[in-house]
Structure 1
Amino acid sequence: MSPQVPPAERRYVRLLRLYPAAYRRRRGSELLETLLEVAADQGRSRPSARETSALILGALRAHAGYGARRSARQSWLTAFRTAALMLIVYAMADAVAQIGHHVVFRASFPYAMAGVVVLSAGALVAVLRHRYPAAVAASTAAFLLLVSMWPLVRPSDGTFWLLPLAAAVLLPLVRHRGEPSSGLLRHLPLVPLLLVGIDTGMSTPLSGLLDVLAPVVVFGIGGAGLLWLAVDERVTMAVGLFAVNVLLIQMSFEMEGGFGASARSTLAVAALQIGVAAAAPALLLGAATLTTRFHSRL
């Protein structure tokens, strides 16, 4: 019969299972031995709250590739790619939702919007295959199709600037290829599907609940992006780039109103609203830039 494993060791082993398998093979035994020695010296039979939080944070960092030598340029290139995927997924999913809305309510079929879906899907595949010139071309073509739908689609619409912004952040990747995504970066492009789901549900009986939930989700994404700075600054960069879309929408909204000329708002209020919209990307990108510079000097 195998000897009974001490409770402290069982608890530490469970925490260490959060780390990648390669990390556990390389450093798991050494780390477990150190943790058990510290716990024995302090007379503890379980991990302290500080140890638990440190081990969880360390596991998240390990999955994100924390500690690997990477330049600030490499971090930005990876963030550009992730942000472009987020923007393209958002634009494509929104176009699909709009087509579905027209079909369900038997309105005229939006053929131009179908073209946007096809071109956005092409851009998405091109980014995933690291064919960035093709991705820029497909994103630009899809945006031109959106422009052709004027005035049904206007610059102040929530998804108008997604595709040109995606093309813009892809331009640096045409000449310099970024490193592969890891950790949360791999799944971040799926986040816009939640926003599209909320927008689509606004026309359902749950619209009242979603009206309240929508700003919570938006602020939650920004807040999570800022907090994730402790794990992977590239996530914060990507969320900050994605948030630039909100600034472009607000600027377009104010320009359509003539910055107060049509009594929509005074110039001071318009400037304040644009400033508020600029705060999120400025905070996210600024904090990520400082963190990246700090890490690159280590």
Structure 2
Amino acid sequence: MRDLAAGFGYLVKGQRWVARHGRWWGFGMIPALITLVGYAAALVALFFWTDDVIDWSTPFADGWPSPWLDVFRGALAVLFVGVCLFLAILTFTAVTLLVGQPFYESLSEQVDISESGTAPESGLPLWRELWIGLREAIALVIRVVLWGVLFFALGFVPVIGQTVIPVLAFCVTGFFLTEELTSIALLRRGVLLKERRRLLKGRRMFTLGFGVPLALAFLLPLVAVFLMPGAVAGATLFVRDLMGEEARADDDEDGDDDRTQPGYPAAPYPSSSPSAG
């Protein structure tokens, strides 16, 4: 329980950080707004055809008597919508982070600067970071789709499919969200996907405490837009704890430090460069 509370605490701290640095909050919302427009149109169309998808996928139930047919297909419709939201939440974050790589990179750096006066640097050119981000995002989306298919199939199991499976889906969603959001700060520290997974699995409850509340909040699309900058800031603070990094003694609690304003250059931080392989 302590790790769950600590993980949630970093989510709150991230929102507080962007609240104290309002210009960075607006700066970080731009990529999320761009991505939201496309996702909103896709989800509206998908949910409009939910009943047709369920009818097509369950022809064996056509002859079932009422009310069992309606109950069965109604439960599957709810599960289908849940799986679509599961995929949308995770891919929304991945796409937003990819679209907003320069935005969130700068935001994450400023959080580090406000905490310790320096910001780790990967030493890689921007195009290499974008390539690594794209490659890791594709790998994550593949895993998300596989999990989504599994949860949809398990939804056919009576009772468990409509109770236990949605809870598990939110836990998996929370873990993946944390994995995505911490990628920016960890890549700057030379930590690639495989090692990132190992670190997060080593602090599983800590990770879920950060990611699951965010997954629940992200069910509301507009909330996702407003929380995204704070989620990136909180993920950076989360990473500092995960890596055992200490904050400087004279942290600027008032949020007036010029170094945390857009456009201020990040201080150099020695770091080993990750390979692109």
TM-score, normalised via structure 2 length: 0.29
Instruction: Find the structure with the greater CA-based Rg.
Output: 1
Answer 1 or 2: higher relative contact order, Cα 8 Å, separation at least 6: 2
